[in-house]
Amino acid sequence: MPSPAEDRPGLMIRDPFEFSDAVLIVPPPLVRALACFDGGHDEAGLREAIHEATGELRSGELGERLLEALDGAGFLENERFDEMRLASVREFESAAVREPCHAGSAYPDTGEELEAWMAENMGQPAGEAEAVAAIAAPHASPEGGWASYRAAYGALGGWARDKTFVILGTSHYGEPGLYGLTRKRFVTPWGAAQTELALVDELSRRAPASIRMEDYCHKIEHSIEFQIVFLQSLFGAGVRVAPILAGSFAEAMEAGRAPESDPAVAAFIDVLGDIRAREGSKLVFVLGVDMAHMGRRYGDDFAAEPNRGAMAEAGAGDRGRIDRLMAGDAQGFWAQVCEKQDELRWCGTAPFYTFLKSAPGVRGTLLEYQHWAIDPESVVTFGAMTFR
């Protein structure tokens, strides 16, 4: 992404998978040279590209420094990167628990501070809300989505205290068409939530081709971690959860077919539907989902502003999809997503669709809808919903 440091312009590069913890800022004249790292150029081609971009006679020296920086950071697809990736995956697989990834950045990293932060922004829980089958909450940073978080979690009253929460979160980095599971307990500054191993094991046993067990994406993903924090704020550190990451359905959309035309997706939805039908009101689903992503941060050639210009049109598109969700119309929702190849870039599509297909007959209510300027030129939309 563009460098956030005013005194160091250029392109900032980091690894969202956290195989590498390095951050590089490539100066503007050298950005074009990154295209040479495609497996088809040699060092002579790199020197030539740098000379053309900069006019610098020391292009060979600059090329060597760029190569060394990228290689040392683990940003080249080579043996060093493979070693770093494998070490990170093995470290996560062998870990006893899933450690908090976003404590200290997206939310406070001590229990006392977290309690005060939550009380200040969420207020007191409703306590006696009417029972629901599911809620949909954002997974955007709470600083931008408090109104939606309040509305969604305000729907969980005292009736939900002894439930198991099946958390369907967006997998931003996972393999399309697969679901990521883990048996690990999620730890936050308040303590460890209890993962419902019986449900995780049943999904793994009955739909083995549909899942990736101990999916590394759980280590870095925020769409479930945030929901754990909010559930713990209501029901205590030991709340029971079944954490599921839903990979995108991009391949099905590009091919113009329904997600369940993929046998792996169909099998998972069938098993999840069986479990929901059998367990009934013992389960409450929590969908960790955002909606549209618009503006320069996401590749658009325009600056997006909340509720204005292009975002007014995007909001109308959001409302059309939300209408289909409220009607429990999975096919109609999917048809709108596929129209224009999901130009709104909804990242919550897979969790929403998976839930609707596994819970036929539900109907939804929209409680809150927001536009959040994630930066001065980009907007994310999200909301809060309940399903009965």
CATH of the domain at 317: 3.40.830.10
Question: By the 8 A CB rule, do 338 and 253 touch?
Answer: yes
How confident is the model over 205-212, as a mean pLDDT? 98
DSSP annotation string for 52-70: HHH--TTHHHHHHHHHHHH
Residue 287 has pLDDT above 60, yes or no: yes
What confidence score (pLDDT) does residue 105 get?
Answer: 95
- 1 assigned to some structural domain: no
The whole-angstrom separation of Cα 288 and Cα 166 is 11
Q: What does the pLDDT look like over 56-95, one tens digit per residue?
A: 767 788 889 999 999 999 999 999 999 999 999 999 999 9
| 103 and 86 inside one domain | no
Nearest by Cα to 222 from 138, 147, 116, 313 = 138
Which 8-state DSSP code applies to residue 210? G
Residue 127 has pLDDT above 70, yes or no: no
Indicate the pLDDT class of residue 126, thresholds 50, 70 and 90: low
Nearest by Cα to 122 from 152, 102, 159 = 152
What confidence score (pLDDT) does residue 1 get?
Answer: 84
| 250 and 152 inside one domain | yes
Q: What does the pLDDT look like over 349-388, one tens digit per residue?
A: 999 999 999 999 999 999 999 999 999 999 999 999 999 9
What confidence score (pLDDT) does residue 128 get?
Answer: 61
| 159 and 56 inside one domain | no
Q: What does the pLDDT look like over 43-59, one tens digit per residue?
A: 899 988 888 888 876 77
50 contact partners, CB below 8 Å, separation of at least 6: 29, 30, 33, 56, 59, 62, 63, 66
Q: Domain range for residue 270?
A: 98-387
Average pLDDT, the chain: 95
Share of the chain above pLDDT 70, in %: 99
The whole-angstrom separation of Cα 220 and Cα 99 is 10
What confidence score (pLDDT) does residue 314 get?
Answer: 97
- 5 assigned to some structural domain: no
- 2 assigned to some structural domain: no
| 15 and 36 inside one domain | yes
Q: What does the pLDDT look like over 297-314, one tens digit per residue?
A: 999 999 999 999 999 999
